[in-house]
Amino acid sequence: MRRMEREDSAIATGLWVTGPNRLELRPSPLAELAPGMNRVRTLFSGVSRGTERLVQDGRVPASEYERMACPRQRGQFPFPVLYGYAAVGIVEAGPLSGQTVFCLHPHETAFIAENEALIPVPAGVPARRAVLAANMETALNALWDAGAGPGDRILIVGGGVVGGLIAALCAQLPGSDVTLVDPQPSRAALAKTLGCAWQADGAGLADFDLVFHTSAHESGLAIAIAAAGREARIIELSWYGTDTVAAPLGGAFHALRLTLQASQVGAIAPSRRSRWSYRRRLAKALSLLANPALDAFITHEIPFTDAPSALPPLLGRSADVLMPVLVYGD
């Protein structure tokens, strides 16, 4: 009993954003392990570059502080804040003891969570790859919002993790014709791995049935609008924080009767909302990670203790990085 009490009062370590591009490791006392709760030792956590870049830059608008707060976040925007939402670990004590689980939890060496917050990682999905679950959930929701179907000509502008995962899902639609646009030359190999075509700048692309925009650049939005066919939909997934962008709604935008539609993972797509819970959607996203080709999205591994110095350069807009993963323990 004494040994359990010592473990329950153990100190975890969290990765805090304390100022613009300033990260610190800070101690986090773990709460007592109450009945029905689980103590999780983190194995890996994924860094979502677009969102976490905005957090580290202090560019979360004040109007969005509440909506942008991740589950189990501590601190407040802009700083200091313990952020992150893609943790994979092993349950060391509690009802789910011994299971490898995914949790929407900040970057922290250990944490306490209720059963409902933990999604068991399927046997066919390695713990390292499971950090992609939150991004896959965003991609899945985007396809639901878009109504993508077999045979569609589909364009994805922006080859980051979310854009790439959307491309991976679209490429599995029977008869689909999928193109990924991204200026990074390395995305050509990624597109080939996913079964898609690749183009650097979108030149000459036109008449697509469906377009997804994920680049977070107004130039990317211009490519997306220009490539859309008559009465097509452009699904906007980029989040710009405090930035203002120009949307080119002149030219043929109105004559072609185009639709510019937002998609955001905070709400389940209306087509599924009456039947799907958030837990069911996240569990499905985890199951979709069984494809070994998706390991291509994990481009950098960082020991957790090195994160304060190693992570900020990888979040730069020009860095050729997909998913940095923090590795905990040996």
What's the rounded mean pLDDT across residues 267-294? Answer: 97
In the chain, the largest separation of any two C-alpha atoms, in whole Å, equals 74
| Cβ-based neighbour number of residue 285 at 10 Å | 24
The pLDDT value recorded for residue 4 is: 37
292-310 pLDDT, tens digit each: 999 999 999 999 999 999 9
The verdict on domain 2-120+291-327 having CATH code 3.90.180.10 is yes
CATH topology identical between 2-120+291-327 and 135-262: no
The CATH superfamily assigned to 135-262 is: NAD(P)-binding Rossmann-like Domain (3.40.50.720)
Report phi then psi at 273, rounded to 5: -60, -35
> Which amino acid belongs to residue 56?
Q
Q: Which residue has the tokens 């509440």?
A: 66
115-147 pLDDT, tens digit each: 999 999 999 999 999 999 999 999 999 999 999
Q: In the chain, where are the structural domains located? A: 2-120+291-327, 135-262
21-33 pLDDT, tens digit each: 999 999 989 989 9
The pLDDT value recorded for residue 329 is: 84
pTM of the model: 0.94
- CA of 322: how far to CAs of 38, 95, 214, 229, in Å? 31, 35, 13, 29
Angle ∠(240,244,247) on CA atoms, nearest 5:
95
HSE, side-chain direction, 13 A CA sphere, residue 6: 3
Angle ∠(169,175,178) on CA atoms, nearest 5:
50
206-241 pLDDT, tens digit each: 999 999 999 999 999 999 999 999 999 999 999 998
The pLDDT value recorded for residue 330 is: 64
